[in-house]
């Protein structure tokens, strides 16, 4: 367990919290913006159509638990943001709102990777520097958030997406499964072999993205 608060460990904690806060803010902003675009004004009234991280931070899921995990294990463990409330009941529109959050994580991953590659290409950063490693971690984390949140189980976004796409005749069965879905989600979070369902594709996408950017910027990545 990583419990010694060395300067390097403190920097790791600070970087991890900043990356998580921004990633969750972008994710929740995606939900709020999508709801706002289809005419649901509740997220705007609640101040959620913003990229301000504190508007989306949950005291326990965004701040306390990740901070404890970073201080004791060196990893983020798991966390969550403040859910975006909306009044939309149309199934198709709910799919749009639900998918928008994970989609924004992909957007953030691509933007950070492009910025990272540009800084490396101009010599501002080197691959082995702490900030460079933090940017690469942010890219992988946001791909992880994309694939994890699209697992087809409530209360994750993927559960809402699936519910909005399946035939109406399947809804009763799906809602019965949803009662036990949180335990399925916990299994994916706790069991390492099951966690590969979202960590492996996340690392694959990050690696392919960096390969593409390496070709574009003519640098080895």
User: Mind telling me the catalytic residues?
Assistant: 28
What are 136's two structure tokens? Answer: 């690469």
* Cα 221 to Cα 52, 65, 155, 160, 199, distances in angstroms: 32, 33, 36, 37, 20
> Is residue 106 a contact partner of residue 142, using CB atoms and an 8 Å limit?
yes
Report, in this order, helix, strand and coil percent for the chain, each rounded to 5. Answer: 70, 0, 25
Measured CA angle at 70 (ends 126, 209), to 5 deg:
40
Q: What angle do helix axes 65-72 and 7-37 make, rounded to 10 degrees?
A: 150
What are 14's two structure tokens? Answer: 């600070």
Q: What angle do helix axes 192-217 and 91-121 make, rounded to 10 degrees?
A: 50
What is the C-alpha to C-alpha distance for residues 142 and 139, in angstroms, rounded to an integer?
5
């Amino acid at each position: 367990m990583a419990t010694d608060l060395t300067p390097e460990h403190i920097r790791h904690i600070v970087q991890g919290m900043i990356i998580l806060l921004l990633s969750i803010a972008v994710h929740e902003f995606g939900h709020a913006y999508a709801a706002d675009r289809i005419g649901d004004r509740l997220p705007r009234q609640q101040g959620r159509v913003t990229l301000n991280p504190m508007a989306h931070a949950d005291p326990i899921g965004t701040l306390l638990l990740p901070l404890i995990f970073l201080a004791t294990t060196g990893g983020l463990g798991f966390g969550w943001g403040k859910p975006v409330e909306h009044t939309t009941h149309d199934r198709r529109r709910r799919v749009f709102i639900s998918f928008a959050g994970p989609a924004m994580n992909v957007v953030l991953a691509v933007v950070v990777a492009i910025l990272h590659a540009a800084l490396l290409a101009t010599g501002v950063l080197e691959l082995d520097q702490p900030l460079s490693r933090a940017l690469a971690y942010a890219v992988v984390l946001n791909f992880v958030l994309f694939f994890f949140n699209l697992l087809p189980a409530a209360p994750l976004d993927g559960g809402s997406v699936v519910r909005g796409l399946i035939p109406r005749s399947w809804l009763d069965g799906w809602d019965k499964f949803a009662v036990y879905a949180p335990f399925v989600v916990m299994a994916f979070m706790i069991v390492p072999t099951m966690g590969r369902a979202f960590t492996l594709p996340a690392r694959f996408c990050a690696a392919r993205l960096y390969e593409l950017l390496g070709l574009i910027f003519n640098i080895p990545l």
